[in-house]
Each structure stands twice: as C-alpha cells, then as structure tokens.
Amino acid sequence: MFRALWKLIKRIFTLCFICVVLVGMVQLSVLGVGKLHLKSDAAKLDHAECIIVLGAGLNWDGTPGAYLRERLDTALDLYWNGYADKLLLSGDNGQQYYNEVASMKNYVLEAGVPEEDVFLDHAGFSTYDSMYRAKAIFEVEKAIVVTQEFHEYRALFIGNVLGIEVEGLSAAPVQSADTRSLVIREFLAREKDFFKAILKVDPTYLGEPFPISGDGRLTWD
C-alpha cells in the first residue's frame, strides 16, 4: 500500500515538474524572441510599411484611455518622422457602443494624418487576431509594433512566427493600481498565444484583403 502510494506521488511530482519546465520554456521563448525585435529607441528602427497600434481600453466618453493614448502618441511621432507610411489601428469593435478603432481613428485624424494613410482593423479582438490579420488581411510584410513593453514581447513573437518582419518600440508605461492582475494576465496570454502562433490558428474573423499599400479609407466601414 505504501509503495503504491509512493509511486503515485512520484508520478504526480514528475508530471508537475514537466509542466513547470514546459511553461518556463514557453515564457522564455516568447520573451527571448520579443527582446530580439524590440528596439530601445527610434533611431534603431528600419523603415516599415506601417505602424501597427494595438488597441486598449477607452475612457467613459469614448476617447482613448491612458494606455491607448500613449501608444497613439508614440505611433504618431514615428509616422511624422518618416519611419512608416501608414498606420494600422487594430482594436475591438465587437459591440455597438464600444468602438476602439473609431476612437483611434479620430485621434490620429485630429493630429493631421491624411485619411488615406489610416487603416482600421475592426476585428482586432486580441493581440493574436491583430497580428494574424495584419499579415492575412492587410498583407503586411514589414511593420513597427507599438504597445507598452510588457505587451511588446508577445506581439513581436506572434508577428515573427506568422512571417511578418517586425520591430517594436514601446510606448510610455502607465501607472496602474492593478499591476499584479496585469502581470498574471500577460503571463497566461503568452502561454496561450505561443501555441496559437505555432499552430497558426485562424483568428475570430478573416475576410477580404485590404493591402496596406492601398487606400486606408476603404477599411473604415
């Protein structure tokens, strides 16, 4: 009886150890690849087809929240300094009264970006969906990804695995009272998106192509 119980304990311990090793390997892979493509300053970036801005939350009045505003400001700075010719704004437009991409579009248009240079991805429901659709729908081959640093590693990993020549420049961090929850969510998301990227799982929605070389206004509806 004791020997059988001991064998069971050993098997459980071995299984737990293997799981911990696999989880650690996934985290290190995502962080390692992401760090290779994340640049410390704009001067180290190559010219790209577009700047991909990943969506974040909105304020109660529909304007970009703190995270998103920092991302948009960083993207605008890169755009005006000639690092890319187009902006690809990707976010959640899955509800009637919640439209990240419309808010993002208004923000950059108010900053003076020509309408034809603004592409909208209304089905960027997740980081994985945004990066997959950048390649599949918008036919992006080379891009600069803008988000906060904690998020950059995963986005750059996904883009690289899916065949986009990606570089990243981090937007300014935002102080949050919910840092622990943010870290946990990102840890779990790396595990999930690692396998989705490797397996090239289809995103929530695909659709007809809108090449990034064309007119962004065609993507507004």
Q: Is it the case that residue 55 has pLDDT exceeding 60? A: yes
Other residues' Cβ atoms within 10 Å of the Cβ of residue 33? 21
Q: Tell me the average pLDDT across 99-119.
A: 95
Q: Is it the case that residue 135 has pLDDT exceeding 80? A: yes
Q: Tell me the average pLDDT across 112-117.
A: 97
Alpha-carbon torsion (64, 74, 39, 200), positive or negative: positive
pLDDT (0 to 100) of residue 17: 80
pLDDT (0 to 100) of residue 95: 67
Q: Is it the case that residue 76 has pLDDT exceeding 70? A: yes
More confident residue, 18 or 157: 157
pLDDT (0 to 100) of residue 181: 84
Orientation of helix 179-199 relative to helix 149-161, angle to 10°: 0
pLDDT (0 to 100) of residue 94: 64
- Over the stretch 33-50, which tens digit does the pLDDT of each residue have? 999 999 988 989 999 999
pLDDT (0 to 100) of residue 15: 85
Question: Mean pLDDT across the chain, nearest whole number?
Answer: 91
pLDDT (0 to 100) of residue 179: 75
Q: Tell me the average pLDDT across 55-69.
A: 90
pLDDT (0 to 100) of residue 173: 87
Q: Report pTM.
A: 0.90
- Over the stretch 142-181, which tens digit does the pLDDT of each residue have? 999 999 999 999 999 999 999 999 999 999 888 775 778 8
More confident residue, 180 or 139: 139
Instruction: Tell me how far apart the alpha carbons of residues 102 and 120 are, in angstroms, rounded to a whole number.
Output: 8
Other residues' Cβ atoms within 10 Å of the Cβ of residue 112? 9
Cβ partners under 8 Å of residue 159, min gap 6 = 37, 131, 134, 135, 143, 145, 166
| Residue 153 exposure: Cα atoms within 13 Å on the Cβ side | 18
Is there a contact between 64 and 72 (Cβ–Cβ < 8 Å)? yes
pLDDT (0 to 100) of residue 99: 87
Q: Is it the case that residue 52 has pLDDT exceeding 90? A: yes
Which residue in this structure is represented by tokens 């090239």? 200
Which secondary structure element, helix H or strand E, spans residue 135, and what is its range? helix 127-136
